[in-house]
Amino acid sequence: MDPAVRLASTVADPLVSRLLLPTEAATDDGAHPGEPELLARIVSFRGADPPLGYEDLLALAEEFVARTAARHHLPTRDEAPVATVLSRTLWTIGELPTTDAQAVRLGPQDYARTLRSAVPGADRELSPEAAWFHDRLLVTVCLHLLHQLIRRSPRLSERLPERAHRIRQLVDLNDVDAVRSRPEPSAHDAAFEARYAHSVVELYNHVTIHGIDLPNPNTPDSWSLDATYLSLSAEFGAPGGAPPAGPDDGDSGEPVLSVDRALGGHERVLLRGVAGSGKTTLVQWLAVTAARDAFPAELATLRGRIPLVLPVRRFAREGFPGPDDFLHAVRHPLADEAPDGWVARVLTEERGLLLVDGIDEAPEAGRAALRDALRRLMRIYSGNFCLVTSRHSAVEPDWLADEGFDELALAPMNRDQVAAFITAWHTAAADDEGKDHAHLTTYRDRLLATIPLYRELRGLATNPLMCGLICALNRDRSGSLPQGRKELYEAAMQMLLQRRDPERRVLYADAVRLQRSARERLLRKLAYRMLTEHRSELTTPEALDEIGRHLPAIPAAAGQGGARGIFNHLLLRTGVLREQSARAVEFVHRTVQDYLAAKEAVEQGAFDLLLAHAHESEWEEVIRMAVAHARPAECARLLGGLLAPGHTGMQRNRRRLLAAACLEHVTELDPDTHARIRRETRHMVRPTTVAAARSLGWVGPIVLEMLPDPAHVPDDEAYRLAVTVTRISDDAAIHYLAQLRNRASLKLRAELAHGWRNFDTDRYAEEIISHLDPEGLYFPVSDRYELAALRKLGGRARVQIVGRFSPDELLEGLCLDQLTHLWLAYDLGASMDWLAAFPHLTTLRVNPRLPRVHGVPHGIRILS
């Protein structure tokens, strides 16, 4: 994270240098050249006769505050208290057993967090704004301190080249920012910005809930984002995919946070998520909220910014546009009216909110060029917030880490979120023109009761897209739901392309009369062309040309009129196409495009084409659906081709794992091919890194049949196996994990505990949670079901709150006499005085990304 309180090195260096002994004095103590040095030995305020006393350190802290307070509007009354806390925090540099190499490896943010954790509760008396300022100023001081260490010890650059480079880069960025002025926008710019903000709200303040946007012309095709936005959950990733260690007690793994809250305090974020997980909806919410300048307190750093939404599919072929071309590249309706150079001025003034949506929408070969262009942009315009979204496997880990991007991954929806989505869906449906409004409450309640009972539905209802499909089909079928992924899409196509118009008596909306087969064939042609051309949209002339070429071969459509009439019919009557502007058309979601393109590829026998691209991430869903559509011989050909020689390294591994993942979609396959896939992938299911273990989970339940016996692996491998299996939503996964539950390893027990949210709560509690040794282990609670289940088990001494609860709900759900350690991953938005109800509570651990807590009863230690 870039420090939010900035100080130019010309100002910071003379101040920070006073914290350290001169180089010659620091090396007189017998330390060996080239060896790591304890910071306690080289700071100037420790030892028998230190050059700097505590009063001097306090004066130095006061100068740090004075140099930065005015720019960041810190009230004068808060300057002295902040300086006092800062001096106490810096004093711990001389008390901790940290070496210069360890500090550089941590980086400024984590080193600052280490110092702050050494003086728990020191900022208890600060206001929330003053505490925020202190934390950010501490990061800045740590940044310049680490820079001094690197400059005085070349061995650090040799041993930690990437960290040293990043620290130098952050210092450069701070220098640019510290001298850059922020003039108010001109009257001309300000007038345009008001109109632009209004247009952003008009463009993005709506959500199309898949399955409701159906063909009745009197039915709204979207609903207010304000009414339907669901804040999903996310978790931070560490370099290489390893979970970061907690600051105390040895617990591992960062908590799951609401994604909008997790963005607080970060300027650059790469957000990963599966198709349909809500990435684009989050982008829309950020854009609309920025346009209204209405961010909540935890995202206060984003207030006053101008949203610039950049869907990659709009410029994937042309390349990343320059600032002056942003609006034209995304076809914004005000592009021609923007003042010359306006976007560049916004970025220069550091008022930009860059939202780059869908890196996976660009062909794999072009993603490196997009990254280079984004790097250049962020180096030139360093103070702007930037969010980049992507599917998980589209880019490698740490894809933008050298530019200071933190990585977030959207987590599957928990049951509270699923219930909230289903409720919001049915509330929105009550405003349409359907004739079944009297039954919507029954449909909702039946669905809420059904999903927890069926494993297939639980596995599918993990993201907004699939939840929307399930809701629509449940309503359409009056409670009769398909179970598998292919069956779900088949039922959706039947509903959208065949039954909806007749059942709603929409019979004469236009002159075209097409049944499902003809509609689907034409839609498949459009999807297949997008697939082969690595695109997510077609221009209107291209779509008309594609339809016109295929009309003569489809008799049911050929006599219905020209390409324009058929195109308009597909656009208005099917519910699966949408027009982005007068010049372009796309499918309502990429997964719908993939499903139809896969069906067309199988119909055309284009198996060589599928196999040629099988190692490319954007083709994964197409390959899976092609296997589901294929006949037995075709299926064997596809899967055999995935195992064929000719690829090496990551491409070879990806193709083999894809073959294993496809087995769950197979309807019939000869035993020899099945056995070959098992044989050739068996050696790949013993991952040697946590990142590999996580990625293995996407393969699905088939992996469980190939994993080694957990009773005969060491703890480190057992931990990686748990990382894989906790990501496989299948009842058999619980049986496998049960064989790891008695291990002593805290890291392994923590992973088993965090896996709770992915399975049936009661069964997982009975077979896993109840058997875990509680020593040193925080038990995570993400929803009311888990809170109730943990209470039935008698409670636990250490509990981690990773879901949204009120204090009253926690007081009722937690066992008062059991709790000794509480970890809050969410800001409860209230004073912490309610903690006095827990007589044995000694420690409150607070996620450092949250606002500072207040009202904590005395005697309770605060850690962050």
What is d(CA 612, CA 641) in angstroms, rounded to the nearest whole number?
9
Q: Which range, of 85-89, 164-168, 484-488, 831-835, averages the lowest pLDDT? A: 484-488
Q: What is the tens place of the pLDDT at every residue in 476-513?
A: 777 677 666 677 778 777 766 765 454 444 444 456 77
747, 379 in Cβ contact below 8 A?
no
β-bridge pairing 306-311 and 223-224: unpaired
Average pLDDT over every residue of 721-731: 86
Q: What is the dihedral of CA 304, 278, 790, 801, to 10 degrees?
A: -20
The per-residue pLDDT for 506 is 41
Average pLDDT over every residue of 578-604: 83
Q: Which of 139, 146, 165 shows the shortest CA–CA distance to 404?
A: 165
246 band by pLDDT with thresholds 50, 70 and 90: very low
99 band by pLDDT with thresholds 50, 70 and 90: very high
* Most confident segment among 297-311, 600-614, 685-699: 600-614
Residue position matching structure tokens 């880990």 = 397
Backbone angles phi, psi at 10, to 5 degrees: -65, -30
What is d(CA 80, CA 399) in angstroms, rounded to the nearest whole number?
42
Listed in sequence order, the DSSP H helices in 477-586 are: 485-494, 500-503, 516-532, 540-550, 555-558, 563-573
% of the chain with per-residue pLDDT over 90:
28
Record the tokens describing residue 611, joined without a space: 């196999």
* Most confident segment among 453-462, 692-701, 838-847: 838-847
Q: Which range, of 173-177, 677-681, 715-719, 812-816, averages the lowest pLDDT? A: 173-177
CB atoms within 10 A of CB 561: 15
Q: What is the tens place of the pLDDT at every residue in 314-337?
A: 888 788 888 888 999 888 999 999
SS3 breakdown of the chain: % helix, strand, coil, rounded to 5? 55, 10, 35
Average pLDDT over every residue of 511-539: 87
On average, the pLDDT of the chain sits at: 82
CB atoms within 10 A of CB 68: 23
Angle at 718 between CA 716 and CA 724, to 5 degrees: 110
CB-based contacts of 567: which residues, under 8 Å, 6+ apart? 540, 543, 544, 547
792 band by pLDDT with thresholds 50, 70 and 90: very high
Average pLDDT over every residue of 655-676: 84
**Is residue 672 over pLDDT 70?**
yes
* Most confident segment among 35-39, 91-95, 414-418, 695-699: 91-95
The per-residue pLDDT for 223 is 63
Angle at 336 between CA 335 and CA 339, to 5 degrees: 90
**Is residue 73 over pLDDT 70?**
yes
Cα of 497 vs its chain's centroid, Å: 33
